[in-house]
Structure 1
Amino acid sequence: MGNSIPMGWEVLVNMKILEEENRGRRKKIRVENLDDLWFLEKILRPGDVVYAMTYRREEKRNDSIRPEKRERVPVFLGIRVKDFKIHEYSDRLRILGIIELGPALGEHHTLNVGVGSVITLEKEEWSDEELEFLREAIESSEKVKVLIVAMDEEGAQISLLRERGIDHIAWIDSGISGKMFHDRRDEEKIRFFQEVAKKIESIGPEKIIVAGPGFTKEEFLKFLAVRYPELRKKSFSDDVSSSGITGVQEVIRRGTPERFLEESRIVEESKAIDKLLEGISKEEFSSYGLEDVEESLDFGAVDLLLISDDFYRKNREKCEELIRRVRSTGGSFRIVSTSHDAGKILSNLGGVAALLRFKYK
């Protein structure tokens, strides 16, 4: 197989299931946040096969007179899982296994899976429990999709803004030439707008930012109003100096998407911590610190369990126990990143807290 990805495995459709194959036994998954990493660890079993792009040292060359430095090169591997564990000091799931697809068959290899990783997981049979974990992961990952279209007469860059990065999905060339006659230019512009609109429609965004210099973006919005009114209702205009990826980056620097990201993870976590602090100040519907949270769980009062990522890494077994308990009473949980202020506040409160569904004392 070498470094290539097998045919039929590379198409992404948009924890998220990207693709299912082999009668549902093989599922292609993107890890989108820390919660997904926890769910993935619960789904994995020894004997599963995990496929992913990774890095390995180049194989030794027998025809070389002098020993050569072996560089790490990208390669697509499938490994039969032997062991796995979330690394104590990093937000990564380490998966150890035996190579069954790719170079160096039969050798050991460790995959490091983190936020943003894409893997394909294959099982002989998916249990009901594993499918339930997967369903919960998908539901917890549902976020508002904000699409940025940076366009001018030369073409349109279509990019999808995600909570931890941006996917540059496509560049669509307009095909319009300055030497075209007026009627031909109009025909080409309509064809161009139609192609862009169909691509947007296939992605299914919640919000669309149409940006760029000049009048092309305004003409496109008028086109949407007539031909694709549902897309027009989701669309907003923004003036930037460039099209293409440069224009997309300018939109982001200007902060334009922020008003459309009320459901983004950082905002959600900040709101939860604000609600926690309000409850603490009023001495109601909140608990914090391990002892108080465990007492709240004893009464079945926890609606949302909040755990900082640093507390989870240091107290993994205890956290898994807390998560099992809150899930058993119909509550939910959130692993909060300490990369922003809300997570740091939670960490300072002991790393674990809860929003309660009722007062019990």
Structure 2
Amino acid sequence: MQIRHKNLEEGVLKIVPENVDDYWTIRNIIENGDYVRSLTFRSPEDADDKIRPEGRKKQAIKLTIEVNEIEYQDFSNRLRISGEIREGKEDYIGRHHTINVEENKQLTIKKENWKKDQLERIETAVKESKKPNILVIAIEEGEATLGTIQRHGIGETTTIKSGSGKNLDGSTNKRKDFFGEINKILKRTTQTKNINNIVLAGPGFTKDDLYKYLIDKTPELKQKIVKEDTSSGGEGGIHEAIKRGAIQRIWKESRITQEANLIDKLLTEIAKNGKATYGKEEVERAIKLGAVKKLIITENTLREKRQEGTEIENLLEKTTQQGGENTVISSKFEPGEKLEALGGIAALLRFKT
């Protein structure tokens, strides 16, 4: 992500998303009531009603809308921001419009009050736009799962299983076919996703054999691949590779690895009835006692509480005033899912309450 202009006195940020990870960041900073401006497309209001909407020519025009709906579609990586038009062609004022967020297209966001965590998210997105793209292949005998690592978690995964039957030459070298299929998907993903690094994870010798196969076919991959021992393949193997720090060694300050370790620490403390608590009421009580060392909240919970108009801002502010730290974690990755199951908010404590 790029920041083109920043004027917090006027509440204005002009940003340029550069990839789908930036869409997720934008999704989590824009709120109902914000003003969003972008170059967009709209059919003329005086078009002949007999012409079907899909047949009308749309005009490129800059519009500002007051946001009342934000929709992010995982399956298509589309971000749509809708609301009433507040600035633009006079005939359009007050009408409903949807802005489709696109890569490399500037978006202007105006808020009455930018919150600290929202600005931190933007700065993180700017820094992480320079990090390499990573593909993890978690393999065990007969099955492999490939998944790209994104800032908000693991992207779409593909699982390949070793088939049965004979090759065209009458042989039954299923492993060669298996490795060949992995290599095909690897090449396609590397080209379309601009992959810089590959983590090859799994138990036993299967990953070592795949490594030899891949660099034999494409010697330059040797500079991109790192191996990581895990107890299993599949999506579980990808999660384990992340927890073991494979991504950390590539992204030295990986948010994903930090979140996984943080939630593991939280769950360990909860399991032994140690210095941790969870759920809004219990966390609020701990804050009142000055016991919170680190408040942890998921993106979804933070957004929901803000929309409800609850006192979540006071909890965040009090934590900071007492020398504590606020951490917002992704709701889409496994650690965030675990925290959602605990109510979406928890805390590591200085002392038991």
TM-score normalised by length of structure 2? 0.51
2:345 counterpart of 1:352 = yes
Contact 1:51 1:78 in 2 (8 A): yes
Q: Where does the alignment leave 5 or more consecutive residues of structure 2 unmatched?
A: 74-78, 136-147, 157-190, 201-210, 228-233
Report what 1:287 is aligned to.
Answer: 277
Per-residue deviation, 1:294: 1.0
**8 A contact 1:88–1:313 mirrored in 2:** no
* Partner-residue secondary structure (3-state), 1:279: helix
1:100 positional shift: 2.6
Superimposed CA distance per residue, residues 122-162 of structure 1 (whole angstroms, 9 cap, x where no aligned partner): 479x99968995355322773852356xxxxxxxxxxx853
CA distance in structure 2 between the partners assigned to 1:290 and 1:277 by the alignment: 16
Amino acid across the alignment from 2:63: I
> Does the alignment pair 1:273 with 2:263?
yes
Q: Which amino acid aligns with 2:265?
A: K
Paired residue for 2:300? 309
- Residue matched to 1:134: 119
Within 5 Å, which residues of 2 pair with 1:159-308? 162=150, 163=153, 165=155, 217-218=218-219, 220=220, 232=223, 235-236=224-225, 259=241, 260-262=246-248, 267-298=257-288, 299=290, 301-307=292-298
Kindly state the Cα deviation for residue 293 of structure 1 after the two structures are TM-superposed: 0.7
> Which SS does the other structure have where 1:32 is aligned?
helix
129 and 330 in structure 1: CA distance in 2 versus 1, 3 angstrom threshold: farther
Q: Provide, for residues 220-239 of structure 1, a one-character-per-residue CA deviation record: whole Å limited to 9, x for no partner.
A: 468xxxxxxxxx4xx2289x
Does structure 1 retain, via aligned residues, the 8 Å contact 2:291–2:351?
A: no
In structure 2, the partner of 1:79 is 63
Measured at CA, do residues 109 and 320 of structure 1 come closer, stay the same or move farther in structure 2, by a change above 3 Å? Answer: farther
* d(CA) in 1 for partners of 2:255, 2:330: 9
Go from structure 1 to structure 2 and tell me whether the alpha carbon gap of 1:164 and 1:80 turns closer, same or farther (over 3 Å shift): farther
Residues 1:68 and 1:142: Cα distance change in structure 2 (over 3 Å): same
Letter of the 1:297 counterpart: I
The whole-number CA distance in structure 1 between the counterparts of 2:24 and 2:338 is: 18
CA distance in 2, matches of 1:274, 1:311: 21
In the aligned structure 2, how far is the partner of 1:132 from the partner of 1:348? 23
**2:86 aligned residue:** 98
Q: Could you say if the C-alpha distance between residues 41 and 214 of structure 1 is closer, same or farther in structure 2, counting changes exceeding 3 Å?
A: same
Quote the offset at 1:217 in angstroms: 2.8
CA distances 1:33-66 after superposition (whole Å, capped 9, x unpaired): 7565443449x855xx52155x65575643x8xx
Tell me the C-alpha RMSD between the 2 structures: 5.6
Q: Determine if the alignment matches structure 1 residue 51 to structure 2 residue 31.
A: no
Q: Is the 8 A contact 1:34 1:335 kept in 2?
A: no
Secondary structure of 1:39's match?
Answer: coil
* CA apart distance, 1:278: 0.8
* Counterpart mapping for 1:55-74 below 5 A: 56=42, 61-62=47-48, 67-71=50-54
Give the Cα separation in 1 of the matches to 2:257 and 2:281.
28
2:261 maps to amino acid: K
CA 94–276 in structure 1, closer or farther in 2 if over 3 Å, else same: farther
The Cα offsets for residues 94-120 of structure 1, whole Å up to 9 and x where unpaired, read as 55433538x975463444678x87762
CA distance in 1, matches of 2:333, 2:195: 29
Which residue in the other structure is 2:15 paired with? Answer: 27
Q: Judge conservation of contact 1:88–1:314 (CA < 8 Å) in 2.
A: no
Gap regions ≥5 residues in structure 1: 1-15, 149-159, 167-199, 223-231, 239-251
Q: In structure 1, how many angstroms separate the alpha carbons of the residues matched to 2:296 and 2:4?
A: 32
1:323 aligns with 2:323: no
One-letter code of the match for 1:334? V
Paired positions, count: 264
Identify which of 108, 113, 117 aligns with 2:95: 108
Question: Match of 1:68, as an amino acid?
Answer: I
**CA distance in 2: counterparts of 1:25 and 1:35, whole angstroms:** 14
Matching residue's letter, 2:263: I
